[in-house]
Amino acid sequence: MKIIGKLFGLSLFVVGCATASNTHPLAAGAGRARAIEIEGPAPRSVVSGPTTIHAYSTNDGMDLFTVAAATGTDRDCQLARARASAGENRLQADRVVTVNVPAGRVACVETTASGTHELLWHQMESQSEPSLLARSN
C-alpha cells in the first residue's frame, strides 16, 4: 500500500511540474518572452504592429507608448516622442500590461528614472476574424 501511495504522490508531483509554467503572467500567448534593458531616459522600440503584447517590469518608472512607424527602429521613438499617442501605459512594478500596437505603428518604452530597467514582454496569439465558410442565397 505504501508503494501505491508513493507512486500516486509522484504522479501528482510530475503533473504539477508539467502545468506550473502556465501560471506565470507571461506564459500565455504566442512566442517566447523577450527582454529589453534600458539605460537612462532614452526611448527604445519594442515591436512593430500590428500586434498585441503583454509587458511586465519588476520596478516602476517606465512608460509604454506607440508612434508612427517610419523605420521600425529606436529612431522612430526618439523623433516622435513629443507627438506620442495619448494612450500611454505607465508600467507599475509586478503588473502585466496589455498593449495593442496597430498596423503602421511602433510600440516604444521610455524610462522616467535614471538607472537600468528591464522590460519583459511577449506577443499575444493573433485573434483572427472568423471566416465566412459558406453563404446561402
The string of pLDDT tens digits covering residues 71-117 is 888 999 888 765 554 447 888 889 999 999 999 999 999 887 788 88
- Distance CA(93)–CA(128), nearest Å, equals 31
pTM: 0.65
pLDDT of residue 111: 85
- Distance CA(25)–CA(96), nearest Å, equals 7
Phi, psi of 93 (to 5 degrees): -55, 135
Domains of the chain, first to last? 30-123 (2.60.120.10)
- Distance CA(6)–CA(9), nearest Å, equals 5
β-sheet bridge partners, residue 115: none
The string of pLDDT tens digits covering residues 18-28 is 544 444 444 44
pLDDT at 136 > cutoff 50: no
Phi, psi of 6 (to 5 degrees): -65, -40
pLDDT of residue 27: 43
The string of pLDDT tens digits covering residues 31-54 is 678 999 888 877 899 999 999 999
Closest CA to 94 of 35, 33, 24, 37: 24
